[in-house]
Amino acid sequence: MYTNIRYTCGTVSGTLYVMNIVLLGIGIGLVSLLAPGPVNLTLVQYGARKGPQPALRGAVGVVGADSMLGLTSVLILGAGAALPPRVFSTTQLVAAGLLIGLGALLALRPSTVSTSIDRMHRPTRAFFLLTSLTPTALGGWIAMLAAMPFATDVAQLALFTIGVLIASSLWHPMLGLTASALGAKLTEGGQIRLSQIGGLGMAALGLALMANQLT
């Protein structure tokens, strides 16, 4: 009887621990997704111009790329093959410079986003590639996972990554649908201002990342 009680309590405790790690991943994932990066900005513009169904297909591409990047990051850390500090810091500096450049381009020439969006005929594939090739994507995943206190435990990293992917699966479809709902209310001038604001936010994110690497 006592053995059964201990077994039941241990099972419940283990389940709660797993849920806590997944919930932690969801919370941190949602916070990390709020930044006005190139993926969020492009998805907003795409949803506003193309409507809900294309926006959802684009969100599927983003989540698919996040899944690939998350799995890759877990494998890298699990194998103990994380990037050397100098290589990682150099990569982050290059990524920060690219974000500043892209942000400045969007702020000064917002029509470039509209031109690129008009050429997207397969949103799932296009957003998968955009997310996968975003300069800060893999580095951001590795940095986030390496900062966790359980960074050396592959099982716990996997649970945390599942939480982050749940957050991505919630955030990106909601963002695309919200943008498509508001798209009809946005004039051409409103879409231009949205691109400019997003560009300024992206440049600010790049500057903050560069300052963090230089200090």
The answer to whether residue 23 scores a pLDDT higher than 90 is yes
The percent of residues in the chain predicted with pLDDT above 70, rounded, is 73
Position 83 confidence tier, pLDDT thresholds 50, 70, 90: low
According to the 3-state scheme, what is the secondary structure of the chain? CHHHHHHHHHHHHHHHHHHHHHHHHHHHHHHHHCCCCHHHHHHHHHHHHHCHHHHHHHHHHHHHHHHHHHHHHHHHHHCCCCCCHHHHHHHHHHHHHHHHHHHHHHHHCCHHHHHHHHCCCCHHHHHHHHHHHCCCHHHHHHHHHHCCCCCCCHHHHHHHHHHHHHHHHHHHHHHHHHHHHHHCCCCHHHHHHHHHHHHHHHHHHHHHHHHHHHC
Summarised one tens digit per residue, pLDDT across range 108-131 is: 776 665 556 667 789 999 999 989
Q: Return the closest-CA partner of residue 148 out of 34, 22, 11.
A: 22
User: Comparing 208 with 46, which gets the higher pLDDT?
Assistant: 46
| Mean predicted confidence (pLDDT) in 12-19 | 66
State residue 152's pLDDT score: 80
Q: Which domain holds residue 63?
A: 2-214
The answer to whether residue 5 scores a pLDDT higher than 60 is no
| Mean predicted confidence (pLDDT) in 138-156 | 82
State residue 61's pLDDT score: 96
Q: Into how many domains does the chain fold?
A: 1
**In the block, residue with structure tokens 């492009």:** 42
State residue 12's pLDDT score: 47
The answer to whether residue 164 scores a pLDDT higher than 90 is yes
| Mean predicted confidence (pLDDT) in 159-169 | 95
| Mean predicted confidence (pLDDT) in 53-65 | 95
State residue 7's pLDDT score: 41
State residue 36's pLDDT score: 65
State residue 114's pLDDT score: 58
The answer to whether residue 10 scores a pLDDT higher than 50 is no
State residue 6's pLDDT score: 46
Q: What average pLDDT does the chain have?
A: 78
The answer to whether residue 191 scores a pLDDT higher than 60 is yes
